[in-house]
Structure 1
C-alpha cells in the first residue's frame, strides 16, 4: 500500500489524532509518527502547492528510499551514526557487519564505497557532526589566542594585557575560553580544569600546542611533558598528545576555533573597558555563550554547536573525577644531614636512610610529598606561618635520635629533682631561657649524660658552684667546672693513699730473718 504523505500531514494540521489518521489512510501509526516528525524537522505546514504530491514528500522526507532497488537493503543509518561514536568503531567494521546481516537475510548489500557515500549524505542532512574522522568525546584541543585582551588599572590608568585560553571539541566544534593575566604554568593548568568543568566531562585525548608550560623539551622527535602537566592528565584519566612541531594539521581545529573566537570575542569587546579580571571574564562568558548558540553557517548543517554537543558528543565524555585537580609545584632537593628537606624555609623530614640523596618534592596548598625515584617516601601537612618550623616524623629518625622526640620538659625536671636542688634550678633555667624547646631539651640531655662519667654528688656540687659564679649557666661552662673539680680531687686522693695505705715491710719478705742467720 502506498503512503499518503500529503493527506497524513493535512489531517495532522487539522488536529486529527494519529489513530484516526491511520484509519483514514490505512498506514501504520508508527509510520505516521515518523512522517510527522520528519515534516516538523523540515518545517512543512499546509497549505501545500499542487506540485507537492506524495512522491515529492517522499523525496524530501526520505531521500534514501529512492536508492532502494529490488533485492538490496539500505543500512540503518541511525544505528551506524550511534555505533560510529564508540571507541575503535570504524565505517569499515560497520560495513562488514552490515554485509553479514544482509547475507543472513538473503539480500544483496551495497558496496563499501556506496555504503560510505549514503552515510555521508545522511549525516550531512540530519546530523550536525560527521563521524568519519572525528569521534565524539575523543579529543580536546587547547591553545592561547594570538591576540590579547586588555584591562585598565583603575588607579593609574595603565593598560594591562590579558590572554585568552581556548579549548575546543573538534567533533561538535563546541568551544570554551577564559581570560588570564599571564600564560604561566598555573594559568595554563587552571584553565584546563575550568574547561573540563564547563564541558562536564573529559575527552580521551588532550592536544596542546608545544608550549613551554606543557612541554619541557623534545627528545628524539618525542615531546617530553613537564611533571605537573603529566599529573593533571593522570588525574583526569586522559592522554596528552602534543601537536608536532611545524605540523599545523595536528592542531587545525583549535587554530580555527582560536581565529573564530578572536573575532567573535576579542574583536567584539575591543571598545569596552574592564577594570578587573572578573568583569572581563563575565563579558567573555556572555560572548562565548552567543558563539556556541550561533547557528552553523554551512547549509547542510542544522542547529548550533551547543545542540550538536548535547545531542551527539556529551554522552561520549568520560565522567569528571570526584575532586578537581589541585595545583602542585615540583622541586628537586638534597636531603640534609639532619634528614630534613627545605621547602620555602620550612623543614620536612624523610627517612634517615636517604641522607645526601636527591629527592623530588611535590608541593600543594595543603600537602608536601617527597619522592625518591618515583616512590613516595614521606608526606607532611604543609606548614604556614613563622619560618624555620620543622615537621618531623618520629619513624624517620635513627633509634638513637628518637630519644629527642620522646624526651619532654617534664621528664627533664623529674630527673633534675632526683639529683638535687641546684641541678633542678639549672635545668629550669635552661628550659625557660631557650628560644626553641628542642634546643633546651638537647642541652638537658647533655647534662643528664654527664652521669655516665661523674657521680650525682659531683654533678650537684658543680651546679651549686655554677650558680654562685654565673648568672647564665651554659652546658660547656658546667662541663669545664666538672672536669676542674675532678682534677682537684685527684691529688687529695693520692696523699690520703700514702698516709693510710697498707705498706709491706721487710719482715713480710723474710729479710730480717736472713740477717739474723748471717750474724750467727
Structure 2
C-alpha cells in the first residue's frame, strides 16, 4: 500500500507521538498491514540500519501487539522506499497554505485530510487502473482487521516481578496488581497519564501516572478467592479501609464529612 497519502500534524517527535501516528494511520487504512517499512529513526531503530538494525523495544512490542512485522529500510537503497520518498515530495507540493488560515493543529489536520483525499480520488493507481482512493477501499479486504481497541501509546516499557504485597515498582512508585499474579513477571508500560500493567499481553491493572503519592493501590486487587498457587490476602478492617478511602482524596479536596466518617469508624 504505497499509493496512499496521509499526513498527521503533531507537536512532538517522541515515542508517544510515533505510536499515536501509527494508530491514526491504521484507522485510516482500515486494517493492519502484514509488514511496515519505517525509516531508520530512533523511534523505530535504536542502532544500525535496515533489517540488521536493533529495533526500538517499545516499537517492537507495539508491533507484536498488532501483529505486523517491522522491516526497516536499508540506507542507500532507493528501491526500499522510493515511492514513499516521491510521495513526500508530492505532498509538500500539494499542501500549499497560500491564502489558507489555520489556527490550530486540528484545523491543519482537517485541511490536509481534505486536500489529500481529493488528490487520491484524482490520481490513478497503476496496478488497478482505478483511483488511488477506490484502490484503498478494495485493499482493506486484505488487511488484518483492527482490534476492538487500539494499543494506547507508551514511551517506557519494563518487566517487573510482582512482590508478595501485590506491588510492582515503576518510576519510583509502587503500583498494585491483582493478588493472583504474586510472584509473576509482568510488563509495565508508561502511557500518557497512565500506568498500564500486562501479563501475557492481557491488561491486568491501570493506574494514574506521576502521582504525588508514591504508593498507588486499587483495593479490589486484594479481593477474591485463593488460587491453587496463591492464597487470598486477609481482608482489611474497617479502620484500615476508611484510612485508604481518605488517602484516595487529595488533602485540598477532602470535605469535613470525610474526617467525620473516619472518626466515626475509629470510635
Partner of 1:280: 108
Residues 390 and 223 (structure 1), Cα distance of their counterparts in 2 relative to 1, 3 Å cut: same
Q: 1:231 aligns with which of 46, 61, 67?
A: 61
| Pairs aligned (count) | 230
For 1:176, what is the secondary structure of its paired residue? coil
> What is the deviation of 1:243?
0.6
TM-score by length of 1: 0.37
Q: Secondary structure at the match of 1:192?
A: helix
Superposition TM-score, scaled by structure 2 size: 0.67
Between the aligned partners of 1:377 and 1:317, the Cα distance in structure 2 is 23
Tell me by how many angstroms 1:254 deviates: 0.8
Cα 1:206–1:382 change in 2 (3 A) is same
Deviations 1:46-71 (A, max 9, x none): xxxxxxxxxxxxxxxxxxxxxxxxxx
Matched, 1:408 2:237: yes
SS class of match (2:54): strand
**Are the counterparts in 1 of residues 124 and 131 from structure 2 also a CA contact under 8 Å?**
yes
Q: 1:390 to 1:310 in 2, by over 3 A?
A: closer
The structure whose Rg is larger is: 1
The answer to whether residue 188 in structure 2 is matched with residue 361 in structure 1 is yes
Q: Is contact 2:35–2:68 with CA below 8 Å preserved after alignment?
A: yes
Structure 1 alignment gaps of length 5 or more:
1-168, 412-430, 437-520
Residue from 388, 395, 398 that aligns with 2:214: 388
RMSD: 4.1
Counterparts of residues 93-242 of structure 1 (less than 5 Å): 169-170=1-2, 173-218=3-48, 222-242=52-72
1:259 Cα deviation from its structure 2 partner = 1.1
Residue 289 of structure 1 is matched in structure 2 by 117
2:153 alignment partner in structure 1: 327
SS of 1:188 mapped into structure 2 = helix
Q: Gaps (5+ residues) in structure 2?
A: 248-267
Q: Distance in 2 between matches of 1:190 and 1:291?
A: 24
Equivalent position of 2:141 in the other structure? 315
Rounded Cα–Cα distance in structure 1 between residues aligned with 2:151 and 2:109:
22
* Distance in 2 separating the partners of 1:410 and 1:301: 71
After superposition, the Cα gap between the structure-2 partners of 1:189 and 1:306, relative to the gap in structure 1 and judged at 3 Å, is: same
SS of 2:33's partner is coil
Give the structure with the higher percent helix: 1
Q: Is the CA contact 1:367–1:379 (under 8 Å) kept in the aligned structure 2?
A: no
Output the CA distance in 2 between the equivalents of 1:376 and 1:233: 12
User: Alignment partner of 1:175: what SS?
Assistant: coil
Secondary structure of 1:330's aligned partner: strand
